[in-house]
């Protein structure tokens, strides 16, 4: 069995923590030490599985790789989508890749951003689903509902199938409240979790039957793919031409072999701040506080303070989230609408929807600590042995001041060392690079000055991490 972890999406309802370039699946939301992605993989411990395979956006590749490295799974393959085309094409790519490897494994399709509190119970349910998938069924995991939810699609169970499964009677769209109440009372309906299990070949057969256009586009895209270390890069032009559709619409609602296995394991998709409040441990007043928080006469409130003291007085049912560059306040009943703020940030071309002040790169991290009309100041940390790309800028000069560690600097034709309390200057148009040859992190302050300080003023000539050697877009930093 191969777990296929779908790690796309931006989680805009969880802004300002979740950003386009650092979305919720890579954040430790429900666990202080593990990201959602890492928790998804860890809960599979004890199962007889191969290394998980990740499917993620091209722009998230280094985040995903670093998180897998921390789990000591640095060899886990990562399939890169150049654009999002929903779940049916994404899983088709993974299935085609699995079959091309000369096997026909059972695929366990999981989302990287789900919370499951009863992990042992979840593994038991996987064991129930496995013989059904091995017999050629396409298994959906249906969450036993705890309340009449209008935000999820539902699966209705039919006759028993195997030991613990049921034939799928039908899939239904998100219902209104009265219909959701009827579903709950009937006991025949489950929330559609978006998790599945089937043999790779069976999924491809059913996709060929119902959406041959998707399968043809995916075959073309993966046949022209390239391998870059652990990354499989899908051909962009071919994949852009692929129609968008979900597994549910493309296959599961049409196949005669759909089976549902009930799941009662404390599941949540953490789709909003109110959902995170619901699954978190609360104090006697129903509050969830993370970080430096003081409160007086506060009830039912969620506060996440990253860098500053947050104080609340006489409030209830609020969500307050503080980061280095943004503070968001919402009523708990309105947290689904946080995405409207993200849409407004995009319309206004503001960077706060895109990334945090701290930006992670394969070589380390930088924090944009100050900026003005013709200057910008960054704190840069370079991992031991890591090297930034060989690059130049048309519009800015850079001053580097080392505060910890040792830097090997290439500045035009010269290469030299810069140690603590020393500095160097990179003129406009000078080809340069920065490397940490030491065994401890290199920390430096970079002061940029010039007429244009955008991150797209980067021309790369060489790079250790497979990034393009040409003018970059805003999403590609130093």
Structure confidence by residue, pLDDT tens digits, 179-227: 999 999 999 999 999 999 999 999 999 999 999 999 999 999 999 999 8
pLDDT, tens digit, 9 for 90 and up, residues 280-315: 999 999 999 999 999 999 999 999 999 999 999 999
Beta strands in 327-422 (DSSP E): 327-331, 358-361, 364-371, 375-382, 390-392, 396-404, 407-411, 414-418
**pTM of the predicted model as reported, rounded to 2 decimal places:** 0.87
Split at pLDDT 50, 70, 90, the class of 477 is: very low
- The pLDDT of 387-399, averaged and rounded, is 95
Domains 2-268 and 357-462 agree in fold: no
Domain 357-462 has CATH 3.40.50.300: no
What would the CATH number be for the domain defined by 2-268? 3.90.550.10
Judged against a pLDDT cut of 50, whether residue 245 lies above it is answered with yes
Percent of the chain with pLDDT over 70: 98
Asked whether 187 and 281 are in contact (CB, 8 A), the reply is no
The pair phi, psi for residue 460, each rounded to 5°, is -95, 135
Angle at alpha carbon of residue 451, lines to 449 and 454, rounded to 5°: 80
Asked whether 247 and 313 are in contact (CB, 8 A), the reply is no
Mean pLDDT over each residue of the chain, to the nearest integer:
93
Domain segments of the chain as ranges: 2-268, 275-338, 357-462
- What pLDDT is attached to residue 478? 47
pLDDT, tens digit, 9 for 90 and up, residues 129-183: 999 999 999 999 999 999 999 889 999 999 999 899 999 999 999 999 999 999 9
- Rounded to the nearest 10°, the torsion over CA 108, 198, 256, 154 is 0
459: CB partners within 8 A, 6+ apart? 391, 392, 393, 394, 469, 470, 471
Split at pLDDT 50, 70, 90, the class of 471 is: very low
Element holding 236 (H helix, E strand): helix 236-240
* Side-chain-facing half-sphere of 403: CA atoms under 13 Å: 9
Element holding 121 (H helix, E strand): helix 119-134
Angle at alpha carbon of residue 273, lines to 322 and 308, rounded to 5°: 15
Token readout for 412 is 């035009």
Split at pLDDT 50, 70, 90, the class of 123 is: very high
Angle between helices 200-210 and 87-100 (to 10 degrees): 130
Judged against a pLDDT cut of 70, whether residue 469 lies above it is answered with no
Residues in the chain: 478
Judged against a pLDDT cut of 70, whether residue 109 lies above it is answered with yes
- What pLDDT is attached to residue 473? 39
Percent of the chain with pLDDT over 90: 86
Q: Strands of 442-450's sheet, edge to edge?
A: 358-361, 364-371, 375-382, 442-450, 396-404, 423-426
Asked whether 7 and 334 are in contact (CB, 8 A), the reply is no
Strand partners, 171: 155
Token pair 């777990």 is found at: 3
- What pLDDT is attached to residue 476? 42
- What pLDDT is attached to residue 468? 63
């Amino acid at each position: 069995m191969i777990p296929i972890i779908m790690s796309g999406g931006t989680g805009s309802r969880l802004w300002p923590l979740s950003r386009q370039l650092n979305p919720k699946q890579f954040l430790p939301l429900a666990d202080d030490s593990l990201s959602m992605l890492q928790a998804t993989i860890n809960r599979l411990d004890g199962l007889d599985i191969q290394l998980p395979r990740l499917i993620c956006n091209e722009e998230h590749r280094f985040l995903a790789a670093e998180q897998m490295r921390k789990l000591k799974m640095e060899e886990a393959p990562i399939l890169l989508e150049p654009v999002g085309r929903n779940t049916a094409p994404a899983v088709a790519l993974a299935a085609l890749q699995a079959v091309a490897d000369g096997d026909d494994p059972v695929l366990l399709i999981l989302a990287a951003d789900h919370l499951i509190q009863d992990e042992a119970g979840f593994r038991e349910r996987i064991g129930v689903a496995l013989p059904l998938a091995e017999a050629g069924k396409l298994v959906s995991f249906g969450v036993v509902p705890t309340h009449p939810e209008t935000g999820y699609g539902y699966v209705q169970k039919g006759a028993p199938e195997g030991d613990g499964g049921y034939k799928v009677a039908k899939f239904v769209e998100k219902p209104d409240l009265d219909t959701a109440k009827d579903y709950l009372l009937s006991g025949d309906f489950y929330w559609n979790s978006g998790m599945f299990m089937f043999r790779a070949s069976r999924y491809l057969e059913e996709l060929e039957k119902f959406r041959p256009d998707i399968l043809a586009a995916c075959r073309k895209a993966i046949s022209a793919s390239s391998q870059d270390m652990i990354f499989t890069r899908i051909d962009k032009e071919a994949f852009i031409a692929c129609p968008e559709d979900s597994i549910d619409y493309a296959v599961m609602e049409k196949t005669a072999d759909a089976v549902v296995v009930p799941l009662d394991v404390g599941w949540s998709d953490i789709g909003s701040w109110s959902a995170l409040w619901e699954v978190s441990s609360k104090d006697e007043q129903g509050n969830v506080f993370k970080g430096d928080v003081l409160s007086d006469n506060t009830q039912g409130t969620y506060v996440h303070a990253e860098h500053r003291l947050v104080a609340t007085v006489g409030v209830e049912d609020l969500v307050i989230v503080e980061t280095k560059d943004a503070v968001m306040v919402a009523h708990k009943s309105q947290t689904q609408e946080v995405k409207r703020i993200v849409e407004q940030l995009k319309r206004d071309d503001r960077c706060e929807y895109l990334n945090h002040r701290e930006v992670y790169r394969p070589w380390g991290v930088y924090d944009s600590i100050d900026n003005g009309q013709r200057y910008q100041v960054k704190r840069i940390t370079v991992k031991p042995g890591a090297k930034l790309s060989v690059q130049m800028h048309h519009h800015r000069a850079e001053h580097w001041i080392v505060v910890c560690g040792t830097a090997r600097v290439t500045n035009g034709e010269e290469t030299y060392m810069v140690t603590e309390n020393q500095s160097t200057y990179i003129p406009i148009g000078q080809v340069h690079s920065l490397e940490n040859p030491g065994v401890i992190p290199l920390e430096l302050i970079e002061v940029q000055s010039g007429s244009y300080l955008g991150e797209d003023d980067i021309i790369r000539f060489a790079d250790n991490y497979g990034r393009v050697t040409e003018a970059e877009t805003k999403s590609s930093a130093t």
